Structure formats: structure tokens, C-alpha cells
Amino acid sequence: CSSSGSAESDKLIMATNAEFPPFESKSGDGFVGIDIDIMNAVAKKLGKELVVEDMEFDSIIPAITSGKADVGAAGITVTDERKEEVNFSDPYANAIQVIIVREDSTNNGDLTGLKVGVQQGTTGDTFVDWGNFGEVASLERYSKGFEAVQALAQGKIDAVVIDNEPAKVFVEENEGLKILESGSISEEYALALSKNNDALLADINKAIQELKDSGELQQIIDKYIAE
Ligand code: GLN
């Protein structure tokens, strides 16, 4: 039994959190989304079989550093803190943090004194914690972004800070919410890999570049994100 992540392995184990549409979500017995399609295309180029492992978002980097998974693909934002633990591939998408509030809110992006929900361990969590959106009254951490948005719709919290594309999906799925673009912070998504797997990183960066050059990457994004 060869260990995952070895160069000889015929499997490419992807750690994700399938609670982040349109990048990854569950569909029947399987998974759909931009990251799933990108990783299937990457695995094909590498001649490997993609295996998707679904877990909590804040378990993904530990799964990579411990060698349980080969690649973290979950709309993961490149940050200096995470770079201390993992290597990142070249970026494949851009994102911003947005604020979701109820439709009747007059908030202009300053969350001072409000109860704010985030998905645990995300950049939204970090930025709210750092006070980037003001001194919040409380920071409520949910294991799923969708749960934070539901709590907002139910009036339990006042705002949610989350990535822009999942925000659009969650606002469509819940009545009476709107997205504020103000105060947004620009981010890049990349794949997370072990610091001890430079060969796989090089292969994956080559595959991403080929997907960019052929237009396939943009086709995958356009399939899930209507402009
Ligand atoms: N982009 C955000 C982050 O990296 C959120 C990712 C996610 O929830 N899947 O923290």
C-alpha cells in the first residue's frame, strides 16, 4: 500500500469542504463545482484518478501537512499565515470578501457593534477578528457558511462576511438578504500542497498553465458563474 502523495501513486487525493458553491458542493452521491472540474482536469493531465475527501474547512491544511491528502482545493485564499504551513500553486481565481445583511438594513459596511457570522477558519473569520470591518459586538463562527447565512435570515445575527461567489448563491437561496460590496478585500484562490512535494507542485502548476492557455479553465469558471 503506497502512501498518498507519493510520486508513484495513481490517485490524487483532494481535500475539500463541499459547502462552498459554486466552487464545491455535494450533488447526490458526488460533488460538483469549479474546483471539482479543475481538479478532474488536472488529475487527467497527471494520469491520476481524482479522489475527493470532504471535511471541515479548517481540517484541510492539517490534512495536507499530515500527508492524508495531496491537494487542498476549496476556494482557499493565499495568505502569508497559510504559506508558513503549505505551498500554494499558481492562483486560478480571484475573489473578494463581501458583507451580507438583511434587505432592510441601512448598513454601509461598518460592522461596529454588530453580531457578525463567518465560516470558521476562513479569511472572513480572520478579517472580522482583526477588526477590519470595525469592532464587532460578537463574532459567531459556523462550520458552514450556509448556516451563518440562515442565522442571518432568521435574525439571530446582523451580518455575514464571506467570499463573493458563495454569497451570491446563498443570498439567492434565502429570502430577504442583500450583498454589500463596500469594505471588500481582494484575494486569490490557489491549490494548497505539502511543502515536501515540489515535484507534484511543479506538475500541478504546469497543468494549471495548460488549462489557462487552452481556455479550459475559463470555460469551467463560466459554466458555474454567469456574468
Ligand atoms: N476563501 C476563503 C478562505 O480561504 C473561504 C474558503 C472556504 O470557505 N471554502 O478562507
Is any ligand 1 atom within 6 A of the Cβ of residue 122?
yes
What are 121-139's pLDDT values in tens digits? 999 999 999 999 999 999 9
What are 10-36's pLDDT values in tens digits? 999 999 999 999 999 999 999 999 999
Cα end-to-end span (Å), the chain: 46
**Phi/psi-derived region of residue 26, left when phi > 0, alpha when psi is between -120 and 50, beta in every other case:** beta
What are 24-83's pLDDT values in tens digits? 999 999 999 999 999 999 999 999 999 999 999 999 999 999 999 999 999 999 999 999
pLDDT of residue 226: 80
Ligand 1 centroid to residue 54 C-alpha, Å: 14
Cβ proximity of 12 and 48 under 8 Å: yes
Grid cell 473569520 in the structure block, residue: 125
Sign of the Cα pseudo-torsion (188, 106, 178, 131, in order): positive
What are 183-219's pLDDT values in tens digits? 667 899 999 999 999 999 999 999 999 999 999 999 9
What are 96-111's pLDDT values in tens digits? 999 999 999 999 999 9
pTM score, two decimals? Answer: 0.94
Is any ligand 1 atom within 6 A of the Cβ of residue 20?
yes
Distance of CA 149 to the CA centre of its chain: 16
Q: Which is the closest atom of ligand 1 to the Cα of 20?
A: 9
Cβ proximity of 75 and 23 under 8 Å: yes
Ligand 1 centroid to residue 1 C-alpha, Å: 33
ipTM of predicted complex: 0.97
Q: Which is the closest atom of ligand 1 to the Cα of 82?
A: 4
